[in-house]
């Protein structure tokens, strides 16, 4: 009985320290020291939140670079993946459908191979990145849709390549598209 009483009190004290004090203190530090990052690295455009630097967004129009397929349709309120095994017929059905659309949209040859990331669903359904080659593959299409020079778009892509020390170079699709919009807007002015 004495053990139960001790157990209950120790549990209550630790719940207070670890369950309230600790997360509240951490949130306080976070909001003081890194307010932008701790709140989700939001991008504000024209006074409105346009998305998060870290969270991918759905792009379907030909004027924008497209990100990776998402099993959850880029729903930032509920992350998720396809969870299909490597031999699953449903997965390969999806892949061949995506390959067809991608090739048609970008004027590729019917048997041209494409980078894996553009036709496979990410783990989070919110992957903000695509590979460098996946971005380059879309440049001609975007140039045509926006009536801009391919070289200009390619140079925008090149400035947005993130090269981590121990990983593959990749491009943040949302930031890239924002830059694209900006450069188009500058041209109009």
Residues in region 42-101 near another protein by CB under 8 A: 42, 48-61, 64, 68, 74-89, 91-92, 95-96, 99
Closest approach of another protein to the CB of residue 74, in Å: 7
Enumerate residues 124-143 that contact another protein by CB under 8 A. Answer: 124-131
Task: Return the structure tokens found at 112.
Answer: 């041209």
3-state secondary structure of 175: helix
Closest approach of another protein to the CB of residue 42, in Å: 7
Closest approach of another protein to the CB of residue 94, in Å: 9
Angstrom distance (rounded) from CA 185 to CA 189 = 6
Enumerate residues 15-34 that contact another protein by CB under 8 A. Answer: 15, 17-20, 22-23, 26-27, 29-31, 33-34
**Pick 51 or 139: Cβ nearer another protein:** 51
Angstrom distance (rounded) from CA 117 to CA 115 = 6
Closest approach of another protein to the CB of residue 143, in Å: 18
Collect all residues with Cβ–Cβ distance below 8 Å to 141 and sequence separation of at least 6.
Answer: 62, 105, 106, 107
Q: State CA 54 to chain mean position distance.
A: 6
């Amino acid at each position: 009985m004495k053990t139960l009483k001790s157990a209950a009190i120790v549990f209550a004290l630790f719940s207070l320290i670890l369950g309230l004090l600790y997360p509240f203190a951490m949130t306080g530090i976070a909001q003081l020291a890194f307010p932008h990052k701790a709140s989700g690295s939001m991008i504000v455009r024209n006074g409105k939140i346009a998305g998060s630097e870290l969270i991918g967004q759905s792009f379907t129009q030909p004027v924008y670079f497209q990100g990776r397929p998402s099993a959850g349709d880029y729903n930032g309120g509920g992350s998720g993946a396809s969870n299909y095994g490597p031999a699953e017929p449903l997965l390969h059905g999806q892949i061949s459908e995506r390959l067809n659309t991608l090739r048609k949209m970008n004027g590729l040859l019917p048997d041209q191979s494409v980078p894996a990331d553009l036709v496979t669903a990410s783990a989070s359904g919110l992957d903000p990145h695509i590979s460098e080659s996946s971005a380059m593959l879309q440049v001609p299409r975007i140039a045509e849709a926006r009536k801009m020079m391919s070289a200009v778009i390619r140079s925008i892509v090149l400035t947005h390549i993130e090269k981590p020390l121990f990983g593959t170079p990749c491009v943040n699709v949302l930031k890239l598209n924002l830059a694209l919009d900006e450069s188009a807007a500058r041209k109009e002015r």
